[in-house]
Structure formats: structure tokens, C-alpha cells
């Protein structure tokens, strides 16, 4: 199974760091890269091939940077997961897909479920914001494999405790969600996931 991971925003935060915490030295680009890198390691341990790209060029709009969508499509990824952190003061994760009744919707549901299962026990305020259609996100529209964009929590709310102290659990939850999706949809392909240990 080939998994393409896209931590949101620009590598190193230049020129786009995504959201920031109002007081702490905390930037979305760094959190997303941490979760993505750890997630990739778990998936590789489970036998997946993983490519990770954080880039200021999602779909050809900034040709000076490597193009996320093109790399995922050309590599032949089986699934695509973009990882972000939200802002606006809400609580909990939400996962976007092109269509909720398609394969991307299934993948979104698996990841959303594992995030809640893995993280909500630490903080009852970390609530389910659901899976949502967002066909205009270019990483969902222009990828040819099932694709999701997950917002793991809000950088400017009490979610920040989860985001900073449970990064490994977040990464593990995303990896387990991907594995669940694969097991549910491709039962003929064995995948040895031991992430719950
Ligand atoms: Zn973002």
C-alpha cells in the first residue's frame, strides 16, 4: 500500500506557516510536519510505502516548489492524506473529503474515528466535528486516489494540550485510520498493523 502524506503549508514556514498560536511559539506547519513524519514511520513499520511532501505548491500554483498533487498522482499513491491544524477557537477534529459517499469519505470516516478513539479520552472537550465534503480543496479535487484533509484540532483553543502533548497519539491515530480503511476496502491485501499495542 502506497500512502502519500502532505503536512500542510510550507516547509519551514516560509513563505506560509499556516496558523499560529496567539502567544506560544507554535506554528501549524511544524505541528503538521511532526504528525506527518511520525505517522509515516508507523506506516512504514507496518509495511506501507510512504512518501511525504510539505510544499508551498499544492497543485501547480507555485512552480518554484515541488508539486504535491503531481507527485502523488505520478507515484501512484493508493491514498492521500493532508494534515492540518485548525484555528478559530473551536474544539476537536474534522476530516474533509471530496464526497462523503465515495472512497475518500470512507477514508475520512476511518481517520476521524481513530482520532476521537485515541485522543478524546485525554480531554472530553475534544469533540467530533464530523466528516465534511469540500470538493473545492485542490488536494481533494486534483488527486486521482482517495484523498482526505484532516484538521486534527484547533491551535487557538484548549485543543492545544492535545496538539502539543499527544502528537505521537495523533500520528498513530491517523496511521491506524489509514490501516482500517485499507483493511475494510482491500481485504485481499494483508497489512500487518500493530499500532494499537
Ligand atoms: Zn492548514
Distance CA 58, CA 4 (A): 13
Q: Examine residue 117 and state whether it is found in any structural domain, yes or no.
A: yes
CA of 102 to the centre of ligand 1 (A): 23
Residue 77, CB half-sphere, CA atoms under 13 Å: how many?
Answer: 25
CA of 15 to the centre of ligand 1 (A): 13
Q: What's the rounded mean pLDDT across residues 164-192?
A: 86
Q: Examine residue 196 and state whether it is found in any structural domain, yes or no.
A: no
CA of 10 to the centre of ligand 1 (A): 10
Q: What is the pLDDT of residues 47-87, one digit of tens each?
A: 999 999 999 999 999 999 999 999 999 999 999 999 999 99
CA of 17 to the centre of ligand 1 (A): 8
> What is the per-residue pLDDT for 66?
98
Ion ligand 1 residues within 5 Å by Cβ: 8, 18, 84
Query: What are the C-alpha distances in Å from 150 to residues 40, 51, 64, 161?
Result: 15, 17, 26, 18
CA of 187 to the centre of ligand 1 (A): 33
What whole-number percentage of the chain has pLDDT above 90?
A: 92
Arithmetic mean of pLDDT over the chain: 94
| Domain region containing 53 | 2-185
Please tell me the total count of domains within the chain: 1
> What is the per-residue pLDDT for 197?
40
Q: Examine residue 48 and state whether it is found in any structural domain, yes or no.
A: yes
Q: Examine residue 194 and state whether it is found in any structural domain, yes or no.
A: no
CA of 103 to the centre of ligand 1 (A): 23
Q: What is the pLDDT of residues 112-158, one digit of tens each?
A: 999 999 999 999 999 999 999 999 999 999 999 999 999 999 999 99
3-state helix/strand/coil string of 157-194: CCCHHHHHHCHHHHHHHHHHHHHHHHHHHCCCCCCCCC
CA of 43 to the centre of ligand 1 (A): 22
Helix or strand or coil: residue 97? Answer: strand
CA of 189 to the centre of ligand 1 (A): 32
Neighbours of 170 (CB within 10 A): 26
Q: Examine residue 77 and state whether it is found in any structural domain, yes or no.
A: yes
- Indicate which CATH number applies to the domain containing 6: 3.40.630.40
Cis before residue 15, ω within 30 degrees of 0?
yes
Q: What is the DSSP string of 63-90?
A: TTS-BHHHHHHHHT-SEEEEEEEE-SS-
> What is the per-residue pLDDT for 187?
57
Q: Examine residue 191 and state whether it is found in any structural domain, yes or no.
A: no
Q: Examine residue 83 and state whether it is found in any structural domain, yes or no.
A: yes
Amino acid at each position: 500500500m502506497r500512502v502519500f502524506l502532505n503536512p500542510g503549508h510550507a516547509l519551514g514556514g516560509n513563505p506560509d506557516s499556516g496558523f499560529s498560536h496567539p502567544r506560544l511559539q507554535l506554528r501549524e506547519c511544524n505541528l503538521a510536519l511532526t504528525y506527518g513524519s511520525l505517522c509515516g514511520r508507523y506506516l512504514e513499520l507496518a509495511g506501507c510505502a510512504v512518501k511525504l511532501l510539505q510544499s508551498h505548491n499544492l497543485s501547480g500554483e507555485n512552480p518554484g516548489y515541488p508539486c504535491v498533487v503531481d507527485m502523488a498522482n505520478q507515484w501512484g499513491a493508493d491514498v492521500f492524506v493532508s494534515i492540518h491544524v485548525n484555528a478559530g477557537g473551536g474544539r476537536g477534529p474534522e476530516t474533509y473529503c471530496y464526497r462523503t459517499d465515495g472512497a475518500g469519505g470512507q477514508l475520512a470516516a476511518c481517520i476521524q474515528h481513530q482520532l476521537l478513539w485515541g485522543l478524546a479520552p485525554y480531554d472530553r472537550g475534544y469533540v467530533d466535528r464530523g466528516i465534511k465534503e469540500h470538493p473545492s480543496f485542490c488536494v481533494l479535487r486534483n488527486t486521482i486516489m482517495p484523498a482526505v484533509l484532516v484538521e486534527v484540532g484547533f491551535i487557538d483553543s484548549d485543543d492545544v494540550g492535545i496538539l502539543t502533548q499527544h502528537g505521537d497519539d495523533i500520528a498513530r491515530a491517523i496511521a491506524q485510520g489509514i490501516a482500517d480503511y485499507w483493511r475494510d476496502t482491500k481485504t485481499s491485501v494483508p497489512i500487518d498493523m500493530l499500532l494499537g499495542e
